[in-house]
Chains A and B, each alone.
Chain A
Amino acid sequence: MVDYIQIAWQGLVSGFAYALIGLALVMVYKTARILNFAAGTMAGISGFLAHWWAAEQDIPFGLAILFALIMTGAGTYVVERLTVRPLVKLGDFLPIVIMTLGVEEFLANVSLLWWGGTARRYRVPGDIDRINWLIGDFRLNAWHLVVAITTFVTLSIVGYIINQTELGLGMKAFAEDQDAAKLMGIKESTVSIWTWVLSALVGGVTGIVFAPVLFLQQDYMNIIFIKGFVAAILGGFLSLSGGVAGGLLLGELEAFTIKWAPREFAAALPVVIVFIVLLIRPHGLFTREKGHERV
């Protein structure tokens, strides 16, 4: 029984990462109908910056995280203005997606040149990630607890922003109907950029908090990005809470598959899920189908 709890907890922790990235992806997609392929790499750079500053530049850990998040926000602001904004007026999303691919290729190589291709493991203050508590037979890693708390805090903040602030209102308006929102006098470019920044910050937090769980490697966030995307699909890509739920579900599925199924299958699980969901419920597991094609 403890075995199952252990696996479930493990799945939940991975699920937090997928949920956060899924949320970040859905946020931008929902408001601007854009998929940001650079999201994973951006999140990875945040994580690298924070831990690299803390461990190699002797900046206090908290300050390093703050700097990293500020850099992420500012960098995203610049990237959106320089690359995405000029293409938005064309009204075709494909060039924008391709643009984010170019950005991802560019940034991935910047980080490769900066930190090299080898995996590193930086220490976190107090070696929290090496503290394990035993509760009966159940083993609880202290850092995993940090991950869980960070996830809840992040989700609460995002929830607050979306439900209580003007930005959130603008995001909802655009998600509902782009044209109507514009007609109501909501400035598309303002809403879009702050959505991007918010999404990048959620990604950044994920990158930072998961770096000690994974090895810090140039592309360590890519796998999380993919799975975050699967989470978003599970949730129907248009529902924030669906994305989060999808992430947690995926984490659990994965944890239990690794336990029982052969490794080849465990590796293919995300794709299998994507295919099945797309074929049976393209609108996601948790949302009802809506809308129709207008001709």
Chain B
Amino acid sequence: MSNNAEIQENALQRAGIPLPKFLKKNHYFGFLGILLVYLLAGTYSEYSQTIMNTIIFAIIGASLIVVFGMAGQLTLGHTIFVAAGVFLSANITTVWSRGLETEIPIAFGVAFLLGLLIGFPSLRVNELYLALATFAVAFVGVQVLFEWKQFSGGGSGKPVGKLELFGYEFSRGPTLVRIALVLMLITFWIVGNYQDGRTGRAWNALRTSETAARAAGLPVAWLKILCFAIGGGLAAIGGVLYAHTLRFAIPENYGVSLSIIVVLALIIGGKHRLMGAVLGAAFVKWLPELSRDVQEYEGLIYGGTLIILTLIAPDGLVGMFEWLGDRIKNAIPSNKDEIVGSTSVSASALPLESTFLAPLSSSEPKGNLIVRDAAVAFGGVKAVDGVSFEIPAGGVTGLIGSNGAGKTTLFNAITGHVKGATGQFILDGTEISQKPIHTRALAGVGRTFQNLNLHDDLNVLEHALLGLDRNIGYGRIAESFRLPWVLREERKAHYLAAELLDHMDLLEYWDEKVEDLPYGLQKRVDVVRALAANPSILLLDEPAAGLPTAEALEMMKKVQEYATHISAGVLIIEHNVELVADVSDRILVLDAGKTIADGTPEEVTRNEQVIAAYLGT
């Protein structure tokens, strides 16, 4: 047992959370698969064309994973990027007589910029509008291309020049397949790195709840535009390869129908996995090879497959295989499970004293919030009507009031979640009024939500890591290539997240998807996400609602301990007056959008106005 004590020094190991590694199992499988095709490309040269098309569509599929699979932006204009790659390639090889070394950077760069532009409307509209806006882009893109004869050759198209790399000319066929495989490896590496890194996590977060992602301090607007830019750039690489396979670029090939096929292929394959991109590409490219009959009906089959898969397997072929795999695994009794079960996570000694959380400890109180004349009106209703107060740094303040008194609206005014709030909000000397939500979050405003706003599909650990995002010190370019410090920072974040989960008694659930957790634990996850961000002031919106008092008190105690650890202030909305009086140093009472009392719990509970307005008899 003494050995165990040593192992159990940190929460991460105790829970068996795998530490991020440079290469995962998937990497080896992927690499082996690509190597196999690489070696066999010469042998089965009669299939070169089909293999080539599959690779190209897999690359395009991977680029779409970024936009649609991760960030959740349904785009039907993705072929515009492919077309950019194709026609840039045609022009560069014929007009400039340059090779791939010029084509790829330029295609990537131009499509990246194009993506920034196309991503722009995504800021203003919901996903439905976006789908149609991008659909319009695809539709009109072809027409513009068609009319821009100098660039595209108009209706008759433009030939593509020689396949060259740094002046060496290559034959097409197997060699082109090999070049394509290398590019596919790079694309998959980059997309895979996002999936394992902070950007992918942030995209997943914004897909599942934009409001919460903003509150966690993620720059949602930039992330949305970025997904189009990166996805577009990678798709253009597929376009360059497509140009060289087809050897002729014709505008009408890059219209809406190709856009739809690309999306269908990814959805059929599975939109959250790189393997899904490969399977989807293989499905649409090998099916027509089977026979002439199939060729005639291919569109029908794609459409039909999509309809059926959407009904029975929303995660596509990959999802189906994973589901089957799970079934098989569960059917075979294994003793491995028992071992895992027996080493269940034991309560830690004192997570707050662990070396990982120690650096966050602070003795200087934060969270001095000054609110001046805050007001919010919905139409003619003044939900918050000129509220002013000051919260001293480091304390716990309760905010009570009857239903509709404007408590949550006041929170939303402080965090920026409500439009048209007036008044001044100053946090630790920094003015945060009129700033966007995520800027206020980065300035130190942390919050939870009254009706839980979690990211379905993400697990508990990922929620903690999301909160930690701002403390993770690597850039997006480093992340793309998984440079050494990316791994170092990810590990640090994992250790920290594990300790925080341990403190909030969530450690044993780290791997659970949040939607599978009971309500009480979901509330804790919400709190953990806010705490992980190391806020100066934490706004808790009815953390105890729906919980038994004992459980609520237990959770509040943990929150308070942590808040004291980082010396943050807490502002808490709660209906349970006993609980509020118990944890707060001070209580503010709101009624009909105005403060009617402000003082210590004893003063407030004795105040006649408060009793009349809220506490009742």
State which of A94, A99, A107, A295 has its C-beta within 8 Å of the C-beta of B412: A295
Complex Cα gap A231–B267 (Å): 29
| A contacts with B: majority SS | helix
B128 touches A105 (CB 8 A): no
Note all chain A residues with C-beta closer than 8 A to B146.
267
- Asked whether B299 is an interface residue with its Cβ less than 8 Å from the other chain, the reply is yes
B124 touches A102 (CB 8 A): no
B256 touches A237 (CB 8 A): no
- Asked whether B129 is an interface residue with its Cβ less than 8 Å from the other chain, the reply is yes
Q: Mark A263-288, 1 if CB is under 8 A from B, else 0.
A: 11001101100110011001000000
A106 touches B147 (CB 8 A): no
Question: Which of chain A's residues has its CB closest to B300's CB?
Answer: A109
Q: Which of B18-26, B134-142, B558-566 contacts A (4 or more CB under 8 A)?
A: B134-142
- Asked whether A112 is an interface residue with its Cβ less than 8 Å from the other chain, the reply is yes
B417 touches A293 (CB 8 A): yes
State which of B132, B257, B306 has its C-beta within 8 Å of the C-beta of A102: B306
Residues of A208-252 contacting chain B, CB below 8 A: 222-223, 226, 229-230, 233, 237
B297 touches A109 (CB 8 A): yes
Question: Separation in Å of the B120 CB from the closest CB of chain A?
Answer: 7
The total of Cβ contacts below 8 Å across the A-B interface reads 139
State which of B137, B408, B418 has its C-beta within 8 Å of the C-beta of A292: B418
Complex Cα gap A99–B302 (Å): 12
- Asked whether A167 is an interface residue with its Cβ less than 8 Å from the other chain, the reply is no
Complex Cα gap A108–B302 (Å): 11
Question: Which of chain A's residues has its CB closest to B302's CB?
Answer: A105
B121 touches A105 (CB 8 A): no
B136 touches A229 (CB 8 A): yes
Residues of B116-172 contacting chain A, CB below 8 A: 120-121, 124-125, 127-129, 131-133, 135-137, 139-141, 143-144, 146-148
Complex Cα gap A103–B311 (Å): 12
B310 touches A95 (CB 8 A): yes
Question: Separation in Å of the B379 CB from the closest CB of chain A?
Answer: 9
B128 touches A264 (CB 8 A): no
B128 touches A271 (CB 8 A): no
B121 touches A274 (CB 8 A): yes
B140 touches A83 (CB 8 A): no
A270 touches B136 (CB 8 A): yes
Q: Given known contacts A37-B131, A229-B132, A292-B419, what 18 new A-B pairs fall within 8 Å (CB)?
A: A29-B128, A83-B310, A83-B311, A87-B310, A93-B127, A94-B74, A94-B127, A95-B310, A97-B127, A99-B307, A102-B307, A112-B299, A226-B136, A229-B136, A264-B147, A270-B136, A271-B141, A275-B120
Residues of B within 8 A of A (CB): 72, 74, 76, 120-121, 124-125, 127-129, 131-133, 135-137, 139-141, 143-144, 146-148, 211, 256-257, 260-261, 263-264, 267, 296-300, 302-304, 306-307, 310-311, 314, 378, 408, 412, 417-420, 449-450, 453
> Would you give 19 A-B contacts (Cβ < 8 Å), ordered by A?
A83-B307, A87-B311, A94-B72, A101-B263, A101-B264, A105-B302, A105-B303, A106-B307, A113-B297, A226-B140, A229-B136, A230-B136, A264-B144, A271-B141, A274-B121, A278-B133, A282-B125, A295-B408, A295-B450
